Amino acid sequence: MATDIRLAYADIDEALFDVNQIPMTSRDVRSVGEMLFDVDYLARQLLMDVDGDAAGTLLRSWPTMVAAAEDLWVSLPGRRPGVDERDRPITSLSAQAATIETSLSGRTAWPGQGPTSPRIDQMTQTFLNAAALVRRYGAEIPHEQPAAHRDLEAARTRIMHGLYLTAHAVNVALHEHGRDRVNDARSAGRQIHLAQHHSPYAIAPTGVWVDRMSACENTARSYLTDRFTQALAGEAMRPVDDPSRLAQALANWDIQTHRALARDLEPSNVLLITRTQGLIAGASMVLVDAAATAGVLACSDRLIPAIAEAGRSWSNLASRWGDLAPPGARLEEPLARAAAEVRAAYRQITHDKTVLATPEVIAIRPALPQAVPATLRAIEGGSELAVVVAEKADAPNLIGPARALSRRAHNDVEAGLATAPASGRDVVWVSPADILAERMVPVPAPVSEAIRAASSATSAAAIAASAVAALHGLGGGTLPVGSGWCMGHEVREPHAMFGTRPSGPSR
């Protein structure tokens, strides 16, 4: 089951526009399976980035996410009447989350009332979008067939795995919050009572929340045990119905990034932009390798190393902008949707279910001949985008969370990435009072210096990659089918560029 992949146009004449260059999308075009994979991706990213300052926002967001996941779960076709054993885990998890929501309601003690996590909220909205899609098209799924049954089981597993990763991320944040409180108390010479369960840093009042989130995490884990790998092996892949999908996604991404950067500076948006540019670089390397295998791209010993260096630079810059983004910062919805579509469009070509496909498999996919020049254009356009992002590092009055900036400032000085104080003594770059109160503070000098240096390095790497990509994408590097040989790779015939539709429904 898949969404309508045609673009939604608002009162315009399609004949007057090149749809490959100006995609005016107004809705999510991903399939349910792609949405569930993206929840998994976002949960993994959250787990990698989580810190103690985000514990309160994550905890407040958790019950709503579970409710949205349960809504999707029960909307999946093929449920048996009455009590279904498969539904017990999500029902139990929903009940646990509901009690957490009740305890949080009207609470004045930590975490109290406040903003929710935009990252969990994004996953929650993805679950809701998927549920709406299932309700609209679920009747078309022949759930009684074995292939469809396996695909639906994979969907349930994806839902539960996303919840498991998120619950673990909330738990990690709670532990880090306790650790921060212990360190703050020791620095101030205060005594603090350490707990003896789960972690010595699970101090009051976080210890109670650790217990409750651990129960949620264990419920999700019990469902996945001895099931995860086997269930996902039955996942159906969405067929490549539109070979131009990646080109459209990247064109829309370019539009949305420039619109976001033209507005007021929001570190959370810059973080998403830099992180997605790193993803584009990584996926481009995979496509270039497959294109050389297929013989549709002239081989080069400069292209992949240049893209790899640009990708590393974008990822390093993303980690620094991540320090400036507060836990409750919101993403612009069009930008977040465009980034999600870029991830889905790349994965449709580069992955085989849960793993990266081999170059030989990617080489025979029908979207590859259009995907390669599209991804090279994105690499080429990355040079201009890097310059715009670098300008943001020079913006006056940059601020960020006190604790994250304090750690980054000391680390940059110790690593030699920023100028050490002339006195040679340790400098308190951020006030302990600001750290304890979790305030937003001006960016310290070492952090400002290092982020400008990282921005310059990213611009240089992106410009170098752009120059090499332009030679391949626009200067004749791509070869038409039937043009001969490329470094020992025979060019495929047209019929070899089209795969067959996999068995089972495409979610």
Q: Is the peptide bond before 111 cis (omega within 30 degrees of 0)?
A: yes
Helices 146-187, 118-137: crossing angle, 10 deg rounding: 170
- Are residues 304 and 289 in contact, defined by beta-carbon separation less than 8 angstroms? yes
Structural tokens at position 162: 């996303």
The CA distance from 134 to 456, in Å, is 46
Nearest of 422, 408, 420 to residue 454 by alpha carbon: 408
Residue type at 407 in one-letter notation: R
The set of residues, in sequence order, having a beta carbon less than 8 Å from that of 416 and lying 6+ positions away, is: none
Q: Which of 225, 260, 278, 405 is nearest to 330 (CA)?
A: 260
- Report pTM: 0.82
Q: Which amino acid is at 471?
A: L
E strand residue ranges, 60-129: none
For the record, the structure tokens of 468 come out as: 């090499």
Terminal C-alpha separation, the chain: 4
pLDDT in the model for residue 112: 84
At 84 the pLDDT is 67
The residue length of the chain stands at: 507
Sign of the dihedral defined by the CA atoms of residues 126, 287, 44, 405, in that order? negative
Instruction: Tell me how far apart the alpha carbons of residues 38 and 351 are, in angstroms, rounded to a whole number.
Output: 13
Q: Which of 22, 176, 160 is nearest to 92 (CA)?
A: 160
Asked whether 502 and 239 are in contact (CB, 8 A), the reply is yes
Q: What letters, b where the CB count within 10 A reaches 16 and e where it falls short, cover 81-114? A: eeeeeebebbebbbebbeebeeebeeeeeebeee
Q: pLDDT, tens digit, for every residue of 421-447?
A: 877 667 889 998 999 888 999 999 999
The distance from CA 6 to its chain's CA centroid, rounded to whole angstroms, is 24
Could you say which residues of the chain have pLDDT below 50? 1-26, 474-507
Q: How many CB atoms lie within 10 A of CB 320?
A: 24
Pairing of strands 440-442, 399-401: antiparallel
> What is the C-alpha to C-alpha distance for residues 73 and 87, in angstroms, rounded to an integer?
8
Q: Where are the alpha helices (DSSP H) in 188-238?
A: 206-224, 228-232
Q: How far is CA 413 from CA 51, 425, 503, in A?
A: 21, 11, 56
The tens digit of pLDDT for each residue in 210-231 reads: 889 999 999 999 999 988 888 8
pLDDT of residue 80: 65
Query: What's the CA angle centered on 220, arms 214 and 225, to 5 degrees?
Result: 115
pLDDT digits (tens, 9 = 90+) for 298-355: 767 899 999 999 999 999 999 999 999 988 888 899 999 999 999 999 999 999 888 8
